[in-house]
Amino acid sequence: MAKPSKASLDMIRQLVEMPTVSRDSNLDLIHWIRDHLKGMGVESTLVHDATGKKANLYATLGPQDRPGIVLSGHTDVVPVDGQDWETDPFRLTEKDGLLYGRGTSDMKSFVAIALAYAPQFLAQPLQTPIHYAFTYDEEVGCLGAKRLIEVLKEMPVTPKACIVGEPTGMQVIGQHKGKKSWRVDVRGFECHSSLTHLGANAVEAAAELIAFIKALARKKKAEGPFDAEFAPPHTSLHTGTVQGGTALNIVPKDCSFLWEIRYLPQDDVDALYDEVVAYARDRLEPELKAVDPACGFSFTQISGFPGLATPDSAGVIELAKVLTGANRVSKVSFGTEAGLFSQEAGIPTIVCGPGSIEQAHKPNEFIALDQIAQCEAFMDRLLERVRGKAGPLPV
């Protein structure tokens, strides 16, 4: 079994040991990458969020006047609060061929390996440049990528292809589900619980709408559309949190809940959302408003990203097969920033990276050393392609 290079392992350690939980700033890590690249003569563009406390980084290695290949990854990680870790999550720990630490699998290892290869990319007369795109707040709705793409679309050169290095076990992913999520706020009318006929129960109204969402989920499970390469093979609807009421003897005035749709690329997510809103407006609101016109439902979208549907005939798929040695293209149910690069920026995109999504967000998150070595082999083949020594790129 091939062993990973010291350069990659050192870079993984560097990034994992810089905590970048989504609720906090990622600037220490982004500034470190910026300075690291500047030391090799590479200038970076930082694209900040509205607060100035977070930033994306975009940089080009090689010719600046021609489109290249984007290596993309998010820099944020999920929290470790309440998780039972056997090691310090922000100290890289190696044991039995595995590297433990928050972000090892999702997805600092890919970012680290891409950075570790910067000296090798820069040492070559690249015919096709390499673009780095490292983002913030992927874990809370792909917020950073959306902002980066706004800027990217205004740049004089648009990349020709993008590889998002989410953990896929180095399998080539051409499609994934999209996601939209909403907060629903229900306003009722409070009164003493012995006088329910005078009140409008916000919790019960929310429960009826949640039950309708569950009914839609069952319908999708039974009727589809289906795609057996996804798990589950259909669009799913899910309610995650509910908050409402103050005391049992008070008819509750307020209730709110969060729900989501994870949809197949070919499904109509907006039509599903419209069904939910119509049920609330037409079936549930009249009873509430009969008590008080101020009662009712309000819907606020809190996150969303499009699905990915790169055709198997796309050049980026052919390139990814060459780089991985794969004979097939797979699909995954989890979402990534790839759909944004594809649909919003018009860049043909695939997902392929080291590690397993099964480890993501869990305590004792790890990546296997052989996955790092496989990703390095991927980068070696990419290096040969972008320096023009292995024939023309298919993209």
Catalytic residues: 76, 138
Helix axes 369-386, 109-116, angle to 10 degrees: 40
Percent helix, strand and coil across the chain, each to the nearest 5? 35, 25, 40
State the Cα–Cα distance between residues 244 and 200, nearest whole angstrom: 13
Burial of 35 (0-12, 13-18, 19+ CB in 10 A): exposed
Helix axes 269-279, 202-223, angle to 10 degrees: 140
Q: What tokens appear for 315 in the block?
A: 């050049």
Q: First-to-last CA distance in the chain?
A: 31
Rg, Å, the chain Cα set: 24
Burial of 200 (0-12, 13-18, 19+ CB in 10 A): buried
Strands 330-332 and 173-176: parallel
State the Cα–Cα distance between residues 74 and 351, nearest whole angstrom: 13
**CB neighbours of 350 closer than 8 A, spacing ≥ 6?**
162, 163, 164, 172, 173, 174, 310, 316, 317, 320, 329, 338
State the Cα–Cα distance between residues 109 and 360, nearest whole angstrom: 12
**CB neighbours of 67 closer than 8 A, spacing ≥ 6?**
128, 129, 157, 158, 159, 160
- With H, G, I as helix, E, B as strand and everything else as coil, classify residue 174: strand
State the Cα–Cα distance between residues 283 and 286, nearest whole angstrom: 7
Which amino acid type is present at position 124?
Q
State the Cα–Cα distance between residues 340 and 361, nearest whole angstrom: 22
State the Cα–Cα distance between residues 149 and 145, nearest whole angstrom: 6
